[in-house]
Amino acid sequence: MADTTLDAMVIGAGVAGLYELHQLREQGLRVRAYDTASGVGGTWYWNRYPGAKFDSEAYIYQYLFDEDLYNGWSWSQRFPGQAEIEQWLNYVADALDLRRDISFNTTIERAEFDEDTNRWTVTTDSGETIDTQYLITCCGMLSAPMSDMFPGQQDFAGQIFHTARWPRDGVDLAGKRVGVIGNGATGIQVIQTIADEVGHLDVFIRTPQYALPMKNPSYGPDEVAWYKSRLPEFQQNLPNTFTGFEYDFTDAWDDLTPEQRLARLEDDYENGSLKLWLASFAELFSDEEVSEEISEFVRQKMRARLQDPELEELLIPTDYGFGTHRVPLETNFLEVFHRDNVDAVPVKNNPITRIAPEGIVLADGTVYELDVIVMATGFDAGTGALTRIDIRGRGGRSLAEDWGRDIRTTMGLMVHGYPNMLTTAVPLAPSAALCNMTTCLQQQTEWIADAIAYMRAHDKTVIEPTEEGEEAWVAHHDELADANLISKTNSWYTGSNVPGKPRRVLSYVGGVGAYRAATLEAAAAGYKGFALS
């Protein structure tokens, strides 16, 4: 006998998990969410490193389904920081009275589908067993940290932290010798924030990043009233744009003169947001020449800020196109390297080989002596959160083994062989890459809630994508992905940051609006591509 019997179990109490729990409870299901964390927030619970903040405008990184919920919270900035975002998700949990149906401090270790009962048996780290009809994973796209990376890490005599496991009480960096490994979106936020405070900062750089300066005005009553008045527009617009942001591609590159193109790029750059990336020219992702022109536009901006040939060589990308992996927004990130207490350490040709008790060791034997090491080394994106759970589908098949061979899903919503397991923020749906995460997660959780409502209304108990349905989606995904320049660049977007991970563009690149239409069409056709029984 299981300790707990549910209709639906939700793993994760972040943006997706909270909303899924709410929707299924509204349907009258016995539903409960579980989370390793001691509070709600998911990504915004874990990523409390110095400088963590939005790159999406706060007013669109929102739940859109309830006007009162939207209007009941007011943001202090265009791109607020982690503390405020975590407070907002706590506000949501309280406003929807979700906490009573969440088990915190609980890690899911195993989930096994029983083909006789058509139900899942789930085991937690405290030994609790849960018997549930539906298993709904809301574990986040970027939640499995790449933290165990270098030989000798355990023997480091100082303190070592992955950014996604930053201590709640913070870390005293004042006057310390600090090393940061990684300069992705996370590393950049850390580096620009702590440079002032530390004694000395070594930044270990393997791949430089295109940097776009963020404009982050504070919001008073006027700005808050302005964005709140736009809710109907956002409800209409966000689910249908290419990336789930408020802006979209409007002009074709070939329709404009070179002067008009430049004016457009300047305009988008001056916006101080991700607009240059997500709403300048769609050809950025498909046409090598356009990609190179826009990349060069950004490089020039970076050169003008650096004005130092050595730093330009080290910090300005030349071997991949702008926007073919995550573009970070930054504030004085490049200028940090002009400071006397900051050094950029190139590690592409002279890689980090191990961590010694005194610091970081490079291939040529150089040792960087450090008090604190910050690992801004990223995540096993899309798959890691689920492959770190022992998930067993039909015939005992293992999701970790299946995805270890080939990463396949049906619209990122289900996986063939795993009946009644519904997924969010997994590969082959728009997730984190080219997507405002809340837009995508709302759409996915709503699709799942609707599917369950449909099943109940039609007296069905089991849903599973057919093999052919999955094959068709994977083929469609790959066709778009292979034509996209993202497929040529190494990053978590293609899974290349995890040794041995099968390479595939993880996120769907056909556009948020097109994805949404495809999922809704499948549902409207009686769940085409899925078998219901």
Outline where 422-504 has alpha helix (H): 437-457, 467-482
Site residues for ligand NA7, window 117-136 (CB under 6 A)?
none
User: What is the pairing mode between strands 421-423 and 129-137?
Assistant: parallel
The answer to the question of residue 182 lying near ligand NA7 (CB under 6 A) is yes
What per-residue string of b and e applies to 37-62 under the rule 16 or more CB within 10 Å gives b? Answer: bebbbbbbbbbbbbbbbbbbbbbbbb
Interacting span for ligand NA7 (CB under 6 A) from 99-107, 167-175, 202-210, 282-290: 202-210
C-alpha 75/C-alpha 227 separation (Å) is 10
In angstroms, give the least distance from the CB of 25 to ligand NA7: 29
Q: Which is nearer to ligand NA7, 302 or 376 (CB)?
A: 376
The answer to the question of residue 184 lying near ligand NA7 (CB under 6 A) is yes
C-alpha 342/C-alpha 200 separation (Å) is 6
Count the neighbouring beta carbons within 10 Å of the beta carbon of residue 438: 19
Per-residue DSSP letter, 99:
G
In angstroms, give the least distance from the CB of 235 to ligand NA7: 24
Q: Which is nearer to ligand NA7, 135 or 376 (CB)?
A: 376
Q: Which is nearer to ligand NA7, 96 or 432 (CB)?
A: 432
Q: Which is nearer to ligand NA7, 106 or 494 (CB)?
A: 494
Inter-residue contact 415 to 395 (CB < 8 Å) = no
In the list 33, 58, 142, 214, the residue contacting ligand NA7 (rule: CB under 6 A) is 142
Q: Which is nearer to ligand NA7, 77 or 207 (CB)?
A: 207
Inter-residue contact 58 to 80 (CB < 8 Å) = yes
Q: Which is nearer to ligand NA7, 64 or 437 (CB)?
A: 437
Burial label, 439 (beta-carbon count in 10 A; 0-12, 13-18, 19+): buried
Block residue for tokens 């995550």: 326
C-alpha 113/C-alpha 346 separation (Å) is 48
Per-residue DSSP letter, 81:
B
The answer to the question of residue 377 lying near ligand NA7 (CB under 6 A) is yes
C-alpha 284/C-alpha 429 separation (Å) is 21
Encoded one letter per residue, x for contact with ligand NA7 by CB under 6 A and - for no contact, window 285-324 reads: ----------------------------------------
Q: Which is nearer to ligand NA7, 347 or 414 (CB)?
A: 347
Encoded one letter per residue, x for contact with ligand NA7 by CB under 6 A and - for no contact, window 338-367 reads: ---------x----x---------------
In the list 497, 506, 512, 515, the residue contacting ligand NA7 (rule: CB under 6 A) is 497
Shortest CA distance to 186 belongs to which of 145, 219, 138? 145
The answer to the question of residue 206 lying near ligand NA7 (CB under 6 A) is yes
Count the neighbouring beta carbons within 10 Å of the beta carbon of residue 209: 23
In angstroms, give the least distance from the CB of 379 to ligand NA7: 6
Encoded one letter per residue, x for contact with ligand NA7 by CB under 6 A and - for no contact, window 434-473 reads: ----------------------------------------
In the list 204, 219, 337, 530, the residue contacting ligand NA7 (rule: CB under 6 A) is 204
Encoded one letter per residue, x for contact with ligand NA7 by CB under 6 A and - for no contact, window 236-275 reads: ----------------------------------------
E runs forming strands in 276-349: 329-330, 342-346
C-alpha 21/C-alpha 297 separation (Å) is 45
C-alpha 423/C-alpha 405 separation (Å) is 19
In the list 29, 203, 376, 415, the residue contacting ligand NA7 (rule: CB under 6 A) is 376
Beta bridge partners, 365, equal: none
C-alpha 400/C-alpha 386 separation (Å) is 8
Interacting span for ligand NA7 (CB under 6 A) from 272-280, 376-384, 438-446, 523-531: 376-384
Q: Count residues near ligand NA7 (CB under 6 A).
A: 22
C-alpha 419/C-alpha 406 separation (Å) is 18
C-alpha 503/C-alpha 180 separation (Å) is 27
Inter-residue contact 197 to 174 (CB < 8 Å) = yes
Interacting span for ligand NA7 (CB under 6 A) from 15-23, 132-140, 181-189, 233-241: 181-189
Site residues for ligand NA7, window 38-97 (CB under 6 A)?
none
In the list 87, 103, 118, 207, the residue contacting ligand NA7 (rule: CB under 6 A) is 207
The answer to the question of residue 492 lying near ligand NA7 (CB under 6 A) is yes
Residues that bind ligand NA7 (CB under 6 A): 142, 149, 181-187, 204, 206-207, 326, 347, 352, 376-379, 432, 492, 497
